[in-house]
């Protein structure tokens, strides 16, 4: 686990974007296509905008999401909306987005199509970028979710799952821990002193994010600023 602390969020955004872009270039030199899995929320906005400006062979980059709120496809609350608005601009507009939102009325009914989609993406991911909520969730692995144990089963063959946490208004689809670990690197991106305290206590409190902190399968980088 490597920790990257910054005094200012802009510096963090620039550095993480540079790191992801560099990793993409390395993999693009070695394979025909590469893939990223990115989180939504508010934290990654600046980093995604920085990443979009990097000059690389974006047309060979496949991008999917770590998780998605089950909302209308054109809803501003969709994580897909954030990626389209902040990342798929400029040079990065040439990347291929593989969204998790589907026209099916429920996330459960979309899972077979999503599993097939994810199976077709280059693996391992070049990078997975995770956020973290103040409750210690990451991806859509929320404390108290009925199926949390199966979401966090590192040996699972399931790449994607539906979950209906009581603590959030929408049903979710999310990559499983097993899918997230199938990456060359995991970048956990969070800001603020409150979240830093949650992160520091996550293992002791057995919060979902602790599963990422404790695993030894995939190199983990933690990116933080106040
Ligand atoms: C989502 C995200 C989620 C996010 C955390 C942090 O759908 O909300 O994918 O896992 O990373 O909730 O969100 P903020 O960056 O908004 O604090």
Q: Is the pLDDT of residue 73 over 90?
A: no
Q: Look up the domain containing 147 and give its range.
A: 2-225
- What CATH number does residue 40 fall under? 3.40.50.1360
Q: Best of 132, 148, 168 to mutate for ligand 1, by most ligand atoms within 8 A of CB?
A: 132
What residue owns the CA closest to ligand 1's atom 10?
139
Q: Which structure tokens are listed for 33?
A: 């296509």
**How many domains are contained in the chain?**
1
pLDDT score, position 141: 98
Q: What is the mean pLDDT of the chain?
A: 97
User: What digits encode the pLDDT tens for the residues 32-59?
Assistant: 999 999 999 999 999 999 999 999 999 9
pLDDT score, position 207: 98
The response to whether residue 210 sits with its C-beta less than 6 Å from ligand 1 reads no
Share of the chain above pLDDT 70, in %: 100
CA of 124 to the centre of ligand 1 (A): 23
CA of 68 to the centre of ligand 1 (A): 10
Q: What is the mean pLDDT of residues 191-201?
A: 98
Round to whole Å and give the CA distance between 43 and 143. 20
User: What digits encode the pLDDT tens for the residues 82-125?
Assistant: 999 999 999 999 999 999 999 888 999 999 999 999 999 999 99
The helix, strand and coil proportions of the chain, stated in percent and rounded to the nearest 5, come to 35, 20, 45
CA of 41 to the centre of ligand 1 (A): 4
The response to whether residue 81 sits with its C-beta less than 6 Å from ligand 1 reads no
pLDDT score, position 12: 98
The response to whether residue 139 sits with its C-beta less than 6 Å from ligand 1 reads yes
Q: Which structure tokens are listed for 9?
A: 């969020």
CA of 205 to the centre of ligand 1 (A): 20
Q: Is the pLDDT of residue 172 over 90?
A: yes
What distances in angstroms separate CA 164 from CA 110, 141, 178, one per listed residue?
14, 10, 19
User: What digits encode the pLDDT tens for the residues 3-38?
Assistant: 999 999 999 999 999 999 999 999 999 999 999 999
Q: Is the pLDDT of residue 186 over 90?
A: yes
């Amino acid at each position: 686990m490597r920790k990257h602390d910054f005094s200012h969020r802009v510096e963090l955004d620039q550095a993480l974007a540079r790191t992801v872009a560099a990793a993409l270039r390395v993999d693009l030199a070695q394979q025909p296509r590469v893939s990223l899995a990115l989180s939504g929320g508010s934290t990654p906005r600046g980093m995604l905008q920085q990443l979009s400006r990097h000059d690389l062979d974006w047309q060979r980059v496949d991008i999917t999401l770590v998780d998605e709120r089950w909302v209308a496809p054109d809803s501003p609350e969709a994580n897909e909306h954030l990626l389209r608005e902040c990342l798929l601009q400029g040079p990065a507009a040439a990347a291929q987005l593989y969204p998790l939102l589907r026209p099916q009325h429920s996330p459960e009914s979309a899972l077979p199509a999503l599993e097939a989609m994810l199976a077709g993406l280059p693996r391992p991911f070049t990078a997975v970028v995770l956020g973290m909520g103040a409750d210690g969730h990451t991806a859509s692995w929320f404390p108290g979710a009925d199926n949390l144990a199966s979401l966090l089963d590192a040996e699972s063959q399931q790449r994607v799952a539906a979950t209906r946490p009581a603590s959030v208004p929408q049903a979710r689809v999310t990559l499983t821990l097993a899918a997230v670990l199938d990456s060359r690197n995991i970048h956990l991106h969070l800001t603020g002193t409150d979240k830093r305290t949650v992160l520091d206590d996550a293992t002791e409190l057995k919060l979902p994010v602790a599963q990422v902190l404790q695993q030894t399968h995939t190199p983990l980088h933690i990116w933080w600023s106040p």
